[in-house]
Amino acid sequence: MSDSWKVTLPCTRAEAEAIDPEGAAFADMTAPPVLMTRELTEDDVEDWVLDAYFQDEPGMREIAMLRALVPSAGDTAVVPERIAEQDWVTLSQSGLEPVATERFYVHTSANKGEVPAGLRAFHIEAGLAFGTGHHETTTGCLMTLEAMRAAGQVVRNHIDVGTGTGLLAFAAMHLWPNARATASDIDPISIDVTRVNAEVNGVKLGTGPGRLELAVAPGLAHRTIERRAPYDLVCANILAGPLIELAPAIAAATLPGGTAILAGLLDRQADGVLAAYRRAGFRLAGRIQLGDWPSLRLVRRPIR
């Protein structure tokens, strides 16, 4: 087995929150690094750290790309740390504590802990795809789904756009087990990850009720997604820019009276996203705020 490499740089909370969780800065790399941020001193917005895990020893170009993400690091010396292959998963996930919501418990293999009674556990490894449940955006979406189910909302046909790891699709399938389910992502790797996670978590793939159909697609532009529309629930935990771009397409794919859950945006970006969806025929029906990350629940107005 070959060794892997770790690079650590200091950063601020603002820089940490501005980092693209899907690693777009390294999109042209065959093996992009796993990027993780953590707070060193509680409530100190200046004392954060960026850890980057590489499969191969990073060169000057990769280190320069990291520095561009955290300008406050300045000329801090960077010495890539070699880590043994068998320690890769444990090290990259060491800061990921299990996440427990009202109905769900999300964990990695490194930190399973004790699953609380009555919760549906999902084993989701951190790695090449975004959406492990350990970020406020994904957790907020899980809580929004739970609130919908608690309010008695019925979902018969749902889609998770930009699914990442498949977690939100799996959660919706647990809450509405007889619904048709679809998960899509522009990144083929994410769909491969979702397929593996489905097997690990006992989620059935297929086309019928209670099974998950997968599609590699930019947004909603795919014949499978179009064929299965309209949806009474659309989840999109991506980024603010793509959310705004997709507003007309998501509106067209959502039943009147149906719900769209939007996340992946910072609090300061919410007004712009909401404006785009109001123009597309949605109204704001709920909002969950975790730190600086809102999860928006929108309802499509009836067509007149």
Mean pLDDT of the chain: 87
Convert the pLDDT of each residue in 36-73 to its tens digit: 787 787 677 788 998 888 888 899 999 999 999 999 99
Distances (CA, A) of 15 to 68, 136, 239: 10, 16, 16
Q: Is 274 left (phi over 0), alpha (psi -120 to 50) or beta?
A: alpha
The H or E element spanning position 188 is helix 188-200
CB contact at 8 A, 300 and 233 = no
Query: Other C-beta atoms within 10 Å of 68: how many?
Result: 10
Query: Other C-beta atoms within 10 Å of 110: how many?
Result: 15
pTM to 2 decimal places: 0.72
Q: CA-to-CA distance for 25 and 62, rounded, in angstroms?
A: 10
Over residues 234-261, the mean pLDDT reads 95
Q: Answer yes or no: is pLDDT of 75 > 90.
A: no
Radius of gyration of the chain (CA): 19
Q: Answer yes or no: is pLDDT of 134 > 60.
A: no
CB contact at 8 A, 12 and 46 = yes
Q: Which two tokens stand for residue 247?
A: 């507003």
| Homologous superfamily assigned to 4-88 | ACT domain (3.30.70.260)
Find the DSSP H helices in 32-95. 60-69, 88-92
* For the chain, domain boundaries: 4-88, 99-300
138 assigned to a ligand binding site: yes
Distances (CA, A) of 288 to 26, 145, 157, 166, 218: 30, 11, 23, 21, 27
237 assigned to a ligand binding site: yes
163 assigned to a ligand binding site: no
Convert the pLDDT of each residue in 17-30 to its tens digit: 888 755 567 777 77
Residue 173, SS3 per DSSP: helix
The H or E element spanning position 49 is strand 48-54
Q: Which two tokens stand for residue 127?
A: 């790695």
Can you give the pLDDT at residue 83? 73
Can you give the pLDDT at residue 29? 76
Lowest mean pLDDT among 125-129, 195-199, 212-216, 254-258: 125-129
Can you give the pLDDT at residue 143? 95
Q: CA-to-CA distance for 269 and 179, rounded, in angstroms?
A: 32
Q: Which two tokens stand for residue 69?
A: 């993400």
Q: CA-to-CA distance for 130 and 115, rounded, in angstroms?
A: 23
| Homologous superfamily assigned to 99-300 | Vaccinia Virus protein VP39 (3.40.50.150)
